Amino acid sequence: MKRLLLLTALTATTALAHHGWSEYDAQKPLNLTGTIESSTYEQPHGTLRLKTADATWNVVLAPPSRMESRGLEKSMLAPGQKATVYGYPHRTKADEMRAERVTIGEKTTELR
């Protein structure tokens, strides 16, 4: 019984921490080019801060396992690296977007 309660509590916590993709507006795609200031490569999604000419964006990436299987390695997201990110803006957070694809150098990685 205790195990079931613990499992239920952990599942509920994880579900609450994860956001839905409906928070992003697919009707307003963005294609941003800039310099990576920082990045994470952890669950539930990787992230990066992308400094463009006009703003600094918080970019939500795919889970690390998906990025790795599609060829977007952690080392490619190093600070100082130039990147182009195509994706959708958050509906209420003006500086956040969800990435659909990332191009670094000659390599484009589809994330969804």
Q: Give the pLDDT confidence of 40-88 residue by residue, as tens digits.
A: 999 999 999 999 999 999 999 999 999 999 999 999 999 999 999 999 9
pTM reported for the whole predicted model: 0.81
Average pLDDT, the chain: 88
Tell me if residue 4 falls in helix, strand or coil: helix
Chain position carrying tokens 């889970």: 63
